[in-house]
């Protein structure tokens, strides 16, 4: 089963400075999950200031450059998982969120084509 995880966080909810060892800990987790084959890809997402929104409504396409001030949450990154079950991807996501300390991951199972 493949899942994509989309990580979002609310910058205003951050309490205090980030753990200075977090990048090292995150790197170790990513290396472990990649070596095991459970993580296929991961990456951060650029700030909304360099984002573009493409929307179609009533036959009209609108392109809007960021930043998107109405957004309360920031999309911070993604991970692509290859796991045996939904429970497994939830457990891996909990390990990730333990390192970030805050945020939300939306997990979407990918349909096999």
Q: Which of 102, 105, 74 is nearest to 90 (CA)?
A: 105
Whole-model pTM above 0.85? no
Number of Cβ within a 10 Å radius of residue 96: 20
Is pLDDT above 90 for 13?
A: no
Q: Burial level of 76, CB count in 10 A (0-12/13-18/19+)?
A: middle
pLDDT score, position 40 = 97
* 18 pLDDT higher than 80: no
Mean pLDDT of the chain: 89
pLDDT confidence bin for 45, thresholds 50/70/90? confident
Q: pLDDT value at position 69?
A: 65
Report the pLDDT value the prediction gives residue 105, as an integer from 0 to 100. 95
Instruction: Give the integer Cα–Cα distance in Å for 110 and 113.
Output: 9
Q: How much of the chain, in percent, has pLDDT values that exceed 70?
A: 96
| 62-101 residue pLDDT tens | 998 877 766 677 888 999 999 999 999 999 999 999 988 8
Mean predicted confidence (pLDDT) in 25-52 = 91
């Amino acid at each position: 089963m493949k899942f994509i995880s989309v990580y979002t966080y609310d910058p205003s909810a951050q309490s205090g400075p980030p753990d200075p060892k977090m990048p090292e800990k995150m790197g170790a987790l990513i290396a472990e999950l990649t070596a095991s084959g459970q993580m296929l890809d991961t990456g951060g997402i650029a700030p909304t200031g360099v984002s573009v929104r493409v929307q179609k409504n009533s036959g009209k396409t609108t392109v809007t450059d960021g930043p998107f001030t109405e957004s309360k949450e920031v999309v911070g990154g993604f991970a692509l998982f290859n796991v045996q079950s939904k429970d497994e991807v939830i457990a891996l996501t909990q390990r990730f969120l333990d390192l970030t300390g805050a945020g939300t991951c939306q997990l979407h199972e990918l349909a096999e084509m």
